[in-house]
């Protein structure tokens, strides 16, 4: 479910770079951002929210992603993508028993949104695939890139075993395949 939702969001964006633009997704869904520093006086320091990287707030159908602005750029980017996962996957946290599963699903959504499997397949086909490539072109942290690549290599993805239609994957790959990669990363696989 998270894979499909994130991939549909990517396809709807119609962008042609390897870095997923987050702002248009927020604008399209009328989701605002708010920094912790702007509301810190209103949050009890003993609550788990105060110690988190961010959370999605819903006020009468109006959504706000509140994020920890003391985190670095890449962590903030991940947090926003993760919270978008909660939004798109219609998570609610009324049932505490589902919390862990929803967090895992939102993480998967964020990883697909920021580092699509289709992009990894394309890179893996033509270039040497390593964390530094994902860090640079997807604008993610080393930890996020490492986790995504570990997952990717464990699963042994191919274009044939992805669940979306071939036409949709082709459309996405056509848009990004002409993205210029520096010569350093144009190392053909042996």
Pairs from 103-109 (Cβ < 8 Å, separation ≥ 24): 105/1, 105/2, 106/2, 106/82, 107/82, 108/2, 108/3, 108/6, 109/2, 109/5, 109/6, 109/81, 109/82, 109/84, 109/85
The alpha carbon torsion through 135, 79, 92, 8 (nearest 10 deg) reads -40
How far apart CA 109 and CA 112 sit, in angstroms, is 5
43: domain range?
2-185
Could you read off the pLDDT tens digit of each residue along the chain, which spans 190 residues? 898 899 889 888 877 777 889 999 999 999 999 998 887 767 666 666 656 789 998 888 899 999 999 999 999 999 999 999 999 999 987 777 888 899 999 999 999 999 988 888 877 776 778 898 889 888 999 999 999 999 998 987 776 666 655 556 666 666 666 555 544 344 444 4
How many domains would you assign to the chain? 1
Considering the domain boundaries, does residue 116 fall inside one? Answer: yes
Does some domain include residue 82?
yes
Q: Tell me how far the alpha carbon of residue 88 is from its chain's centroid.
A: 12
156 within domain boundaries: yes
DSSP character string of 21-58: PSHHHHHHTT-EEEEHHHHGGGS-TTSHHHHSSEEEEE
Residue 149 belongs to a domain:
yes
Residue 190 lies in a domain: no
Check if the beta carbon of residue 155 is closer than 8 Å to that of residue 112: no
Extract the tokens encoding 130. Answer: 């390593």
15 part of a folded domain:
yes
In a domain, 105, yes or no: yes
153 within domain boundaries: yes
């Amino acid at each position: 479910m998270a894979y499909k939702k994130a991939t549909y969001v990517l396809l709807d964006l119609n962008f042609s770079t390897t870095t997923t633009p987050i702002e248009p997704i927020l604008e399209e869904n009328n989701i605002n951002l708010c920094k912790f520093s702007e509301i810190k006086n209103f949050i009890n320091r003993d609550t788990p929210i105060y110690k988190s990287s961010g959370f999605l707030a819903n006020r009468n159908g109006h959504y706000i992603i509140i994020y920890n602005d003391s985190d670095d750029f890449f962590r903030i980017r991940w947090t926003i993508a993760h919270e978008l996962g909660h939004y798109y996957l219609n998570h609610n946290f009324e049932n505490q028993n589902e919390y862990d599963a929803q967090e895992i699903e939102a993480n998967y959504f964020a990883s697909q949104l920021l580092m699509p499997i289709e992009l990894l397949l394309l890179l893996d086909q033509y270039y040497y695939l390593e964390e530094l490539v994902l860090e640079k072109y997807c604008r993610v942290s080393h930890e996020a890139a490492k986790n995504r690549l570990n997952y990717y290599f464990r699963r042994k993805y191919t274009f044939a075993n992805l669940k979306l239609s071939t036409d949709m994957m082709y459309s996405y790959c056509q848009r990004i395949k002409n993205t210029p990669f520096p010569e350093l990363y144009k190392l053909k696989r042996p």
